[in-house]
Amino acid sequence: DTEVTQTPKHLVMGMTNKKSLKCEQHMGHRAMYWYKQKAKKPPELMFVYSYEKLSINESVPSRFSPECPNSSLLNLHLHALQPEDSALYLCASSQGQTYQPQHFGDGTRLSIL
């Protein structure tokens, strides 16, 4: 069992759909992260939130829109995705200081039709 919970575990959507991925942690962590992972590749950082403010956007296309409503929740809003966006999307959190290890969820496997 992981302490970072991601929902849904699987998502299939069409290119015109709008959907959201959700991530939740109750460890009091103040930094939260979104990663994208393609098959047989390492995770790639997308966004970092620190104290509920967006700190890093790794040049992610605007069809991905992150949101951090409070310190425990992180959302990733999806709109007009492309087939190449099919991947495992991982959420992570850390205590909010450099060097503190990240805790990962098990991800949402997204398929774009």
Could you give the C-alpha distances from 12 to 2, 62, 70, in angstroms and in order? 23, 20, 27
1 binds another protein (CB under 8 A): no
Contacting residue, 50, 57, 72, 75, with another protein by CB under 8 A: 50
66 binds another protein (CB under 8 A): no
Nearest distance, CB of residue 80 and another protein, angstroms: 27
Tell me the DSSP string of 43-105. -EEEEEEETTEEEEE-S--TTEEEEEEETTEEEEEEES--GGG-EEEEEEEE-SSTTPPPEE-
- Choose one: 12-20, 64-72, 76-84, 86-94; the region binding another protein (CB under 8 A): 86-94
> Which residues bind to another protein, rule: CB under 8 A?
2, 4, 30-31, 33, 41-45, 48-51, 55-56, 90, 92, 94, 96-107
